[in-house]
Amino acid sequence: MQTGALIIGDELLSGKRQDKHMQALIRILAARGMKLAWAEYLGDDPVRIEAALRRAFESGDLVFSFGGIGATPDDHTRACAARALDLPLELHPEAKALLEARFGDEAYPHRIQMGCYPQGAAIIPNPVNQVPGFSHGHVHFVPGFPSMAWPMIEWVLETHYRRLFNDSPDIEMSCIAIHAREGDLIDLMRAFTARYPTLKLSSLPSFGNDAIPQMHIEFGFAGQPDLVGIAMAEWSKALLERGYELREKAAPAGQ
């Protein structure tokens, strides 16, 4: 099961707001030895939201959807989820009780709509203002407000997905080959990809920068620690045998 994200809102695509959710989700997952496999940004377009949610439900992935579950006319996510599942929207009894407790008579006629989910949904508790999110299968819907969304995601993970936590998470090791060109090393990269199919080999070429003015390539291996160490040792040896000067990647300033 891979983990993905749908991040919804015209304000993100117009530049009025900067997205903070993806980096937060990466951090939340990494703390549990998990990683984000994909992410998709969507405007407040019901057709696109419905199509993206249909793909999410059919994928079998663990998916977090951010935004669009409020009560204003531009909040389309709940209705789009129902259409993507070919299910009716219905008022969830727990959500109804929470919204009535939170807003009293002012829950009607509009705020109560925030408790209408696709039939069969389960609620996600909101520790900030008690207006819940919801889950259907492995797709989980949280508000666009970071202060609410992030603890709700952590609750989902801790409550339903502890089996996916990894006490030995993947690591990445890298080295820099001076004056290297990708075209000269494709054969070697293919050989190592075949030799280590469970690792991800990355190649990041540069024409030079402040730290290393010469043309160079940063090579990396990502995966389980023991295997990454072996692969990087063999890779470095192979590059040295081909006559390349190697350097370690410099740590960011302040570290």
Q: Where are the domains of the chain?
A: 3-164, 171-247
Question: Per-residue pLDDT tens for 170-200?
Answer: 889 999 999 999 999 999 999 999 999 999 9
* pLDDT single digits (tens) 38-84: 999 999 999 999 999 999 999 999 999 999 999 999 999 999 999 99
pLDDT band at 255 (very low <50, low <70, confident <90, very high): very low
Number of Cβ atoms within 10 Å of the Cβ of 251: 7
Name the CATH code of domain 3-164 (choices 1.10.3720.10, 3.40.50.2000, 3.40.50.300, 3.40.980.10): 3.40.980.10
Sign of CA dihedral 232, 237, 240, 241: negative
What CATH code is assigned to 171-247?
3.30.70
Q: Note the pLDDT tens digit of each residue in 110-140.
A: 999 999 999 999 999 999 999 999 999 999 9
